[in-house]
Amino acid sequence: MFSFIKKFQDNRRQKLYDAQKRQLATGEAKNWLVLARDEQTNPEILYYLAGKGDADVRRAVAHNKSTPLQAASLLAEDRDGDVRLLLAERLLKLLPSLTPERHSQIYAFTVQALGMLAQDEMLQIRRALTTSLSDYALAPPQVVVRLANDLAREVAEPILRFCVALKDEDLLDVISGYSAPWVVVAIANRGSVSPPVVDAVMGTGEAEATTALVKNPGARFSLEALQTIVERAKDHPEWHQPVAMRKELSSELARQMIGFVDKAVLDVLEKRSDFEPAARKQISEMVGRRLSYLHDMPEGETAEHRAIRYIKDGKMTQDVLADALAWHENDFVIFGLAHFAKVHPQIVKRMVETVTPKPLVALCWRAQLPMRFCTDLQQRLAKIPLKDVMYAKGGTEYPMTPDEIKWQLEFFGIAD
């Protein structure tokens, strides 16, 4: 029974195919157009028409759901723009139903044609691809990479900002050869920006892109990148609030920010509940000192005069000096160090300008300051590279012998 039905169907298909071949053989445009529009037309005939028919026929072939995808590459190179646009629309509708595993050959034909269309001279075609692929997670990587590198902003920008099919290496390649600021701004505004991409965007020096990163909760900063942001934030008030709210912000960086943000941001830092209790207490105390410091700062007062006033009033403490160091009040720190070490400020300045750790370790030892403060001093005041910084021995002890410390002090003319 089933064999009879199959034989009947095969005979019917053969008769239909023979009739279509006779219609094709007439060579008449109206017959070819009928064949091109009919979804029952044999795929072989549709493939033939894709390369031989006039523009109307080829448009109908491109639109026909029965046209085999083997013809896609042929149609993607068609001289008629409408043919290529119709093909693009058909392929984009078809793509979500395909997977590389289940439809490997069909998928390959589709992706190959889309890749060709992604370089099409018609902006409308490339824009159509961008509209469909920018929010499609399984978009073919080779296609979206071409679109991401498009010189037309309306083509590349949606892909760069929204397409999750772009990998980090693709984004890094785009950044390395970007042609306009909007390119890196789009990347900075992505829903998720990894630390390597954050570093690359910051490395371009594009101010708008960096601001976008700071305000983007999906951007993930490395500790080094966030340190750079905090250091630069003093000149960018618009960064203060979003940086203060970033979950990656350490309590140490929060202490640095206390030195230059306004009261509203100080409140944000003081109320953060994700810091350890000890850090929260320290930040709260530091905020109090900062507010007092700002309230008690006469207009036009120099760092030297302020240091002298603090010393005279008995307010020059280790905490005040540590605050000033965190807040980059470098001149005040130098005068404070000179006070604690009982040496001239010019000597302190000379020791700092060596950009070497041993003179500063000796100076802090003489000033009876904790070694942890000395470690911070090396990095923040003297800008000594991390690889050269001297750290405490055993967690708290000074790492130099008494003779080494004495030699350093005498070298700078400091005697007991």
DSSP states of 281-326 as a string?
Answer: HHHHHHHHHHHHHHHT--TT--HHHHHHHHHHTT---HHHHHHHHH
Phi, psi of 234 (to 5 degrees): -55, -35
Report the distance separating Cα 87 and Cα 72, nearest Å: 7
Is residue 6's pLDDT more than 60? no
| DSSP state string for 97-155 | G--TTTTHHHHHHHHHHHHHHTT-S-HHHHHHHHHHHTT-TT--HHHHHHHHT-SSHHH
- Could you give the angle at the alpha carbon of 170 between the alpha carbons of 169 and 173, nearest 5°? 85
Amino acid at 381: L
CA dist list (Å): 363 to 73, 217, 374: 75, 43, 9
Encoding tokens for residue 132? 């469909």
pLDDT in tens, 220-264: 999 899 999 998 888 898 999 999 999 899 988 998 888 888 888
Across residues 286-290, what is the average pLDDT?
84
Start-end of H helices in 38-118: 43-52, 55-63, 72-76, 81-94, 104-117
Distance CA 8, CA 323 (A): 93
Mean pLDDT of 333-361: 96
Asked whether the predicted pLDDT for residue 5 surpasses 60, the reply is no
Q: Which tokens is 230 given?
A: 């905090």
- pLDDT for res 389: 94
245, two tokens: 């709210």
pLDDT score of 2: 53
Tokens of 46: 């549709």
By mean pLDDT, which of 42-46, 131-135, 320-324 is the weakest?
320-324
What pLDDT, on a 0 to 100 scale, did the predictor assign at position 3?
A: 57
Q: Is the pLDDT of residue 4 over 80?
A: no
Chain segment 105-141, per-residue pLDDT in tens: 888 999 999 999 999 999 999 999 999 999 888 899 9
377 falls in which pLDDT band (50, 70, 90)?
A: very high
The residue written with tokens 């005939």 in the block is 45
- 111 vs 273: CA distance, rounded Å: 50
pLDDT of res. 38: 92
